[in-house]
Amino acid sequence: MNAFNATLLVLYAAGMSIGQILFKFAADRSKGEAAGGFLGALLRDGYFLAAIVIYAGLTVLWVWLLTRVPLSRAYPFVVLSFAFTPALASVVFGESIGLWYLVGLGLIVSGLAILVWKAG
């Protein structure tokens, strides 16, 4: 896999994480309006709508990437969102990440490195 495709796959995973952060913002804001109509509040929320737009764009990017990279080589990059999302949640929302969580993420990212650089 060339560096350009690998970079786009990393950006795809980062975009997924950004979308999740926006969904969390929308969830937190719509909590207070749940009694008055959770779905209506969500559909009016700018964070939710921005996340939907990002995910729509990421879907197009993903399908385009699959024209260039086999699915079996592209899909493992999705696990990077498992690392990016908690890191962003820690910074943005102050969520804590424990040592064992970090160890697990390290193992996941190490697995990706093996798949990308050593497999087939």
Q: What is the pLDDT along the chain (120 residues), one digit of tens a residue?
A: 788 999 999 999 999 999 999 999 999 888 766 556 778 888 889 999 999 999 999 999 999 999 999 998 899 899 999 889 999 999 999 999 999 989 998 998 898 888 877 665
Q: Which pLDDT score, from 0 to 100, does residue 64 have?
A: 97
What is the number of structural domains in the chain?
Answer: 1
Domain boundaries, position 104: 3-117
Q: Which pLDDT score, from 0 to 100, does residue 87 have?
A: 92
Q: Which pLDDT score, from 0 to 100, does residue 35 have?
A: 59
Torsion of CA 87, 93, 98, 101, to 10 degrees: -40
Residue 109: partners with Cβ closer than 8 Å, 6 or more residues away: 79, 80, 83
Distances (CA, A) of 3 to 6, 8, 76, 116, 117: 5, 9, 16, 11, 12
Do residues 80 and 48 lie in contact, with contact meaning Cβ atoms separated by under 8 Å? no
Q: Which of 77, 110, 107 is nearest to 10 (CA)?
A: 77
Q: Which pLDDT score, from 0 to 100, does residue 43 have?
A: 85
